Amino acid sequence: MNNIDKTEEEWREELTPEQYEVCRKCGTEPAFTGEYWDCHDYGVYRCICCGAPLFDSETKYESGTGWPSFWQPISEDAVEYREDDQTDMERIEVCCAACDAHLGHVFEDGPEPTGLRFCINSASLALDRK
């Protein structure tokens, strides 16, 4: 349910080259390089493209993967899921429901209570610190 209608040129103008590559072209930042992989500040993680709330710091945990990891989104309607067939791995892509930005992937190897690991690129996020 993409509520944001912008051209690729408009996205390029608004985002850094890394943010554009990750969010609009389904790229991935290198592990252990993003701004939030080791961040322990409290707040709400928002979509860098549209500002929609995506994850709460209360659900962030150390997965050891080098990317920010969460065990659930801030609400089920905040994100959308798609099968990702870009690699040989079976993966589920996670996108912002408001603007269709690529955020990362979700895996079934996370902690309780959900058992999920939302492995999210820092480049797709902006932290609203509490």
pLDDT in tens, 3-15: 788 999 999 999 9
Question: Where are the chain's structural domains?
Answer: 8-129
CA dist 23 and 101 (Å) reads 5
CATH architecture of the domain 8-129 equals: Beta Complex (2.170)
**In the predicted structure, residue 112 carries a pLDDT above the cut 80:** yes
- Sheet of 43-47, strand order: 53-56, 43-47, 125-129
Give the pTM: 0.93
119 a catalytic residue: yes
Indicate which residue of 49, 50, 96, 119 is catalytic.
119
Q: Which residues of 7-29 are buried (b: 16+ CB within 10 A; e: fewer)?
A: eeeebeeebeebbbbbbbebeeb
